[in-house]
Amino acid sequence: MRFGIRELVFLALLLAVPAASWLVVFGPRHQQIEQARNEVDLKQATLKQLARVTSRIDDLRDEIASGQAALERLELKIPGRDGVDGILQQITELAMQHQLVVRSVKGDRPLSAPLYMELPLSMSIEGEFEGIYGFLADVESLERITRVHHLKITRVIEGKATQAETLAALRADLTLSIFFDPGTDETSSTP
């Protein structure tokens, strides 16, 4: 067989067909396949991450429930503006339970803090030492957050009391702070 120009052109044409098909058809198709594989890998990674997150949903529900329980406990400790009267009633009842005489209760101006208000109450109570001590211990054990500061205890001397009666009669002047949630109304009045 003789190789002439005709055969060489035919051979070149035969070699050009696969090269052209690679450049025109198979090359772009290969890029599309690689792009599709990358998208599939990305979506599979996203699905794995989503599966991890959805597996934590029950844990998150438990965390939300415990957070809500903590908020409810905090609300028990710091009442709303309406709960201040109830605390005052509790404190008065505690004083009576310990056989103390409440001489005066005066509400001072509420002090503002970022998340709560503090209502200082100037109190004057009289009674025996055990009663005052029991009263202060019971105030400390209240569910509500309270603070006693500026405590001054003096002896009360009345008329012709015996020495034992004189030692038993004490007056406690104290400032008791009650903490409360101001709610949406920022202005407050002393109860």
CA 51 – CA 49 distance, rounded (Å): 5
What does pTM read for this prediction?
A: 0.53
Give the pLDDT of residue 134: 92
Q: Where are the domains of the chain?
A: 5-55, 79-180
* 79-180 maps to CATH 3.30.70.60: yes
Question: Is 171's pLDDT higher than 50?
Answer: yes
Tens of pLDDT, residues 94-146: 888 988 888 888 877 877 776 677 888 888 999 888 999 999 899 888 877 78
pLDDT in tens, 35-45: 999 999 999 99
Annotate 59-84 with b (16+ C-beta within 10 A) or e (fewer): eeeeeeeeeeeeeeeeeeebbebebb
The mean pLDDT of 169-187, rounded to a whole number, is 74
pLDDT digits (tens, 9 = 90+) for 80-105: 666 677 788 888 888 889 888 888 88
Between CA 5 and CA 117 the distance in angstroms is 103
